[in-house]
Structure 1
Amino acid sequence: MPRTPTITQHTTRTARIEHRWPAVFALVVALVLYGALPNDLITVQRYVTVAIGIVLLIPLIAINPHHMSRQTRWSRTLSLALAIVIVLSNQITIVSLLLLLVGGSEEGPSLLQSALQVWVANVIGFALLYWEIDRGGPVIRTMAKRSDLPKADFRFPQDEDDDAIDEVSAGSSGTSDWTASYVDYFYFSLSNSMAFSPTDAMPLTSRAKLLMSLESFGGFVILALVIARAVSLIG
């Protein structure tokens, strides 16, 4: 496993340091949606997941309260653990939801609402995980020299726009030192979950392809069963 760099101060990079709060807001939304699921879907698991999320988030905000400018080994470990907990918990919840949908539970409207909550939380969770693994994470991506960055997991359009017309190349990675933020990964996760395939960004590594496959499959199964359940309720 590659050594995790310790970042504590600014370098000579011109990339804009990322704000902490978009990712925090998205995570809070996911935890609220998760905690608001019906009791018959998941019981103890949802409270454990929400509690773990809050406990891990507090020290991460403390080390980077406004901008993602500092990283240590323990903060990197906590960040990855938080994203993994959200994604894994949501996969378990998806399985529980599918069992209830297939089993013909009488709580039809409640299950359809729960499906939407689980789907949105899944999009947010995978966006967090993509955000954390790509090129060493949000701190390394903007603080370390590009020559020192870990291998990229995703290729964005801005990574190859430097030879386009001036107004396009002005925002490219090669010209402006652009780097992806949480919003970019959220859009990528959302479009992957809706289109069941890459849209603007392309996976480059095996782990990225496997994660995208898992997200797409989960989104497809939820959509297919929700449509079938909705049709049965209308009928």
Structure 2
Amino acid sequence: MRSDAEDATASTDDAPASPAQERRAETRWAAFAGIVVAAVLTALVQQPETAVGRTIGLIALAAMAVPLFVINPHRLDRQTQWSRVLAIVFSAVLVLVNQLGVANVVVRLIDGSADGASVLLEAAQVWITNVIAFGLLYWELDRGGPVARGTLPRRELPLADFAFPQDDEEDASHEVAAGSSRRADWRPGFVDYLYVSLTNTMAFSPTDAMPLRSRTKLLMSVQALTGFVLLALVISRAVNILA
């Protein structure tokens, strides 16, 4: 039998959240800030070889961003089939446009066709953009995207691409379990996916959230490989500059 204290705790944990505690749909401003940073860095990269591709990509991104902002100007609480597809395409285009910069930086680092300072700066720009772009793509793919995560009951969410620590903490200590997925109905936001992207790029392996689906593992593999090649070549180039 459970004690009165345990019954009281269980009742508290199972009680519905008050209006002040109810989860609200995620705002778009964290992701918007990331997109702006990525777009600015992409535009500032001084690579004549990729200028046409980057310009076309940035124009396409701007064109796709307009209807996405119109349908959800502040909170991400509305979605149609076309807006869902457009959001994923937007993230994928940002990733692909940045890969042009990554490839060009790698070529220039290998053949030594650019001076050390400029190519190191470009490597930093595409590396940061890579983190943001993949974070945005993970954010759009996992559990049906930000609109689904913010509006659907948990039992109706699509399959998860990532398992976050909060998804397994309902049996932890009270102060930890209180913020878990089951007890607090916690859902990951853009910052969580940005952190996953950053740690995957730096550690070349998942450190916070574990990938669950094949598509996620493939995307994280591409990102980790890209980050590894960039960092390895940048370090080699920096050593040559200092030598």
Q: 1:186 aligns with which of 173, 189, 194?
A: 194
The residue type paired with residue 149 of structure 2 is R
Pairing 1:49–2:73 present? no
More off after superposition, 44-53 vs 151-160: 44-53
Distance in structure 1 (CA, Å) of the matches to 2:67 and 2:220 = 29
SS at match of 1:43: helix
- Aligned residue in 2 for 1:155: 163
- The correspondence for 2:218, drawn from 210, 215, 221, is 210
Distance 1:206 1:41 in 2: 34
CA contact (8 A) 1:135 1:150 kept: yes
Bigger Rg, which one: 2
Residue equivalent to 2:141 = 133
Partner of 1:108: 116
Match of 1:224 in 2: 232
Q: Given that residues 41 and 93 in structure 1 are in contact (C-alpha distance below 8 angstroms), is that contact kept between their aligned partners in structure 2? A: no
Counterpart check, 1:200 vs 2:203? no
Structure 2 counterparts to residues 64-143 of structure 1, below 5 A: 64-143=72-151
1:7-86 matched pairs, under 5 angstroms: 14-86=22-94
Alpha-carbon distance between aligned partners in 2 of 1:161 and 1:220, rounded to the nearest angstrom: 32
Shift of 1:71: 0.3
Q: CA deviation at 1:106?
A: 3.5
Unaligned stretches of 5+ in structure 2?
1-18
Q: Give the drift of 1:40.
A: 3.1
Greater relative contact order, per chain length (Cα 8 Å cut-off, separation 6+): 1
Question: Number of matched residues?
Answer: 224
In percent, how many aligned pairs have the same letter? 50
Would you tell me which structure has more helix in proportion to its own residues? 2
Can you give the 5+ residue segments of structure 1 that lack an aligned partner in the other structure? 1-11
Cα distance in 2 between the residues matched to 1:193 and 1:41: 25
Could you tell me how far 1:41 is from its partner in structure 2? 4.8
TM-superposition CA deviations, 1:131-168 (whole Å, max 9, x none): 00001000001211222111110000000111111111
The 2-side partners of 1:191 and 1:88 are apart by 20
Q: Which runs of 4+ in 1 moved over 2 A?
A: 12-16
Distance in structure 2 (CA, Å) of the matches to 1:164 and 1:70: 34
Q: TM-score, normalised by structure 1?
A: 0.92
Q: C-alpha separation between the residues in 1 aligned to 2:144 and 2:114?
A: 46
